[in-house]
Structure 1
C-alpha cells in the first residue's frame, strides 16, 4: 500500500508541476508586445520548441526551460576557465552544493539577459521595461524551482520533463499545418518516420555488449570469497549533439542553395556518423577499465590482464561505437529524407533535425522515467529486508 501511495504521490506532483508550467506559459506578461517570426518561417518552429510556443504573447514563462538547459553547459565552461570552480568539483558534497548555487545564479542571469533583450527590441519606456524584466526574470527562476520539485519529488529529471511538456504542446498544431499542406501523405510519412526512429533508438539505447569477467578466489580464514562470473557492459551513449552540430555546419549552404540535391542529405548523414563516433570514443577510457579490473582481481577469460585486456576492450568498444554511430546517422537521415519527400519548403534540414531531436528526446525521457519507476518499485519491495 505504501508503494502505491508513493508512486501516486510522485505522479500527482509531476502532473501538478506540468500544469503550473503550462499555465505560466499561457499567462501573458503585462505591458509588452513582440513581433514573432511568421508561422511559415523556418526559425519559428525551432523557437516554439525551445520556448513552448509563447512567441506571440510573450508569457511569464517566455523562455521555458531554455535558461535551465543553458546554465549547466555554461557552468562547465566556467569550471574549465576558473580554477576555483574546478576545485569545488573535487570537494564532494560541499562543493556540489556551492556549484548548485552558482548554477541557480546563472539561470537567473540568463533570464535577466533575455528579459533585457526583449525590452530593448520592444522599444518600451522605463517603467514598462522594468515590469517586463522583473516578470520574465522571476519566471525563469520559478521554472528552475519547478524543475527541482520534479527532480526531488516527482519522476525523472525536471528539466527534461518540462521540456517534453512544452514540446508536446507545440507538435500537434505543426502536424496539423503539415497535413493541411500535403494531405494524407504527411500522415503516412510521419508515421513511418516516427515508428522507425523510435524502434532504432530503443534498440540502440537498450542494447549492450556484455564482456564476461571472472574474479579470482581469495581465502579469508577458512572461507573462499570471489570467483563468481560477472560482465562489463558496453553501451553506445545516446546524444542529439552530433545531429545538431552537423546541421549547424550545413545550415549556411543549405539556406543559400536549398536541400534538393541528394548530396546534401548524404553529407549530413556522414557528418552525424563521424561526430557520433568521435563523441563516443573520447568519453571512454579502456586503460582505466582494465586497471580497475586488475585492482579488484578480475580478468577477461582468455585475455591476459593489463594492456592486452585494455586492447581487447578497446577493440570491442570501437566496434560497438561504429555500429551505434551508423545507427545515429540512419536515425538522423530518416526525418530529413521524409520531409524532403514531402517538399515542406527550402529548409527541410532544419525541420528534419528538429523532428529527430524531438523523437530521440521523447524516447530517452520515456526510458529514463520507466527505469526510475521500476527502481522505486524494487526499492520499496526490498526495503523491509534492509532494516
Structure 2
C-alpha cells in the first residue's frame, strides 16, 4: 500500500529538522521542496524493497499458516516477484497522489487514504447489522442500547477530534514602533499560535511501528518459543500491557516530535530580530524558556488526548463486547484522526480557492456569493 511512502515522508521530515544540510535544502523554496520530495521517493522505494523481501519470507514460512504451503515455488524468483509487485503498486499510488495534489484540491495521498477508510465503512455497517440481527433476536450478539450508544459515541468522538484539532494557545506578541524617516514601522499586535497536538497522527504511527516490530520479528523465528511467548503476552493486541505500552510510546513520541519541529530558541531569536516581544516577558532567553514551558504543558494535554483516541477501539470492544475490531476501529485510532484531519484540511483549501475567485467562503458564513 501507501504506508512505505508515509513512513519515508515522516522520516524525511524528522531528518530535515535534525540534519543541517537537509534543513538548508528545505529552505531553498520550490527547488528545495522538489529535492526533498525526490529523496522521499528514494526512501519509499528502499522501504518497499525491505518490506517486500521480509513479506516474501513470511509467506514462505509454513508455520505462519498452520503447516499449509502458501508458496508452491519459494526461492529467489518468488522474492524478486514479490518485491517488484509491491514496489510497482506503491509507486503507482504515490504518482496518483502527486497528480491529485498538483491538478486538484487537497493532499493527494491523504485523500487516497481517506477514500480507503470510507470504502470500509459499508462493510463495518453491515457487520453491525449482522451482529444486531433485527429479524432474528435469537442470534443477536449486540443489544439495541449498544448500537445506539455506538452511533452517539461516534458523533461525540468526531466533534471532540475536530475541537482538539483546531485547538491552539495564542500567545500575544507586540512589535516595537520604529520611525524611519517620515514612516512609522511596527507597533502592531499579533499572536503566536501553538497547537495542542503538534504531532497528531504521527505519534500514533510511530508507536504502532515500534509495537509491531517485535511481533513481526517473532514470525521470522518460529522456533524461538521463549521469544514468541514473551511477545504473545506483552504485545498481544487489545491487552492491558499492549495498551499501556501504546500510551507510553505515544506520550514519548509526542514530546520527541515536538522537540524536533518546535524550536523555542529559534522563535525567540526571530522575534527579537524583528522587534517583537511577548508582553511581560524579556526578549531572548526568557522568551525561549516561556515558550518551552507553554509548549510542554500543551504537549502533555495533547498526548493524553491522542492516547485516549488511540486506545478507544480497545476500550469500546471491552465495554460493549464488540466481537469485531473492524467495527471498533471506526470510533478511534488513526482512522478517525486521519479522516477528520484530511476533511478539515480539504475544507480549508476549498475555502481559500473560493475566496481567491471572489466567492464568499462557506466555513463561516455558510453561503456563496458570485463575483461582482
Instruction: Give the TM-score taking structure 1 as reference length.
Output: 0.66
Q: Quick one: distance in 2 between partners of 1:250 and 1:350?
A: 22
Aligned match of 2:3: 66
Q: Quick one: distance in 1 between partners of 2:13 and 2:201?
A: 18
Matched, 1:210 2:170: yes
Distance 1:215 1:80, change over 3 A: closer
Task: State the number of aligned residues.
Answer: 318
Q: Quick one: distance in 2 between partners of 1:307 and 1:222?
A: 33
Aligned match of 1:369: 346
Tell me by how many angstroms 1:379 deviates: 2.3
After superposition, the C-alpha distances for 1:117-162 in whole angstroms (9 at most, x for unaligned) are 6698544699999988776654433322211111111121111111
| Higher RCO by CA contacts (8 Å cutoff, separation 6 or greater) | 1
After superposition, the C-alpha distances for 1:221-268 in whole angstroms (9 at most, x for unaligned) are 112121011111111214224334555666766843767876765664
Matched, 1:191 2:151: yes
Cα RMSD, aligned residues only: 4.1
Distance 1:247 1:316, change over 3 A: same
After superposition, the C-alpha distances for 1:42-87 in whole angstroms (9 at most, x for unaligned) are xxxxxxxxxxxxxxxxxxxxx3x23432443465688899998787
SS of aligned partner of 1:213: strand
Matched, 1:201 2:138: no
Tell me by how many angstroms 1:191 deviates: 2.0
Aligned match of 2:261: 283
Matched, 1:294 2:254: no
Aligned match of 2:116: 166
> Does the aligned pair in 2 maintain the 1:259–1:349 contact within 8 Å?
no
Residues 226-265 of structure 1 mapped to structure 2, 5 A cutoff:
226-236=186-196, 237-246=198-207, 255-256=232-233, 265=243
Q: Quick one: distance in 2 between partners of 1:373 and 1:267?
A: 39
Instruction: Give the TM-score taking structure 2 as reference length.
Output: 0.69
SS of aligned partner of 1:305: coil
Unaligned runs of 5+ in 1: 1-62, 383-387
Deviates more, 1:127-136 or 1:248-257: 127-136
Deviates more, 1:205-214 or 1:348-357: 348-357
Q: Quick one: distance in 2 between partners of 1:337 and 1:200?
A: 17
Aligned match of 2:358: 381
Unaligned runs of 5+ in 2: 61-70, 132-140, 216-229, 360-372
Distance 1:135 1:197, change over 3 A: same
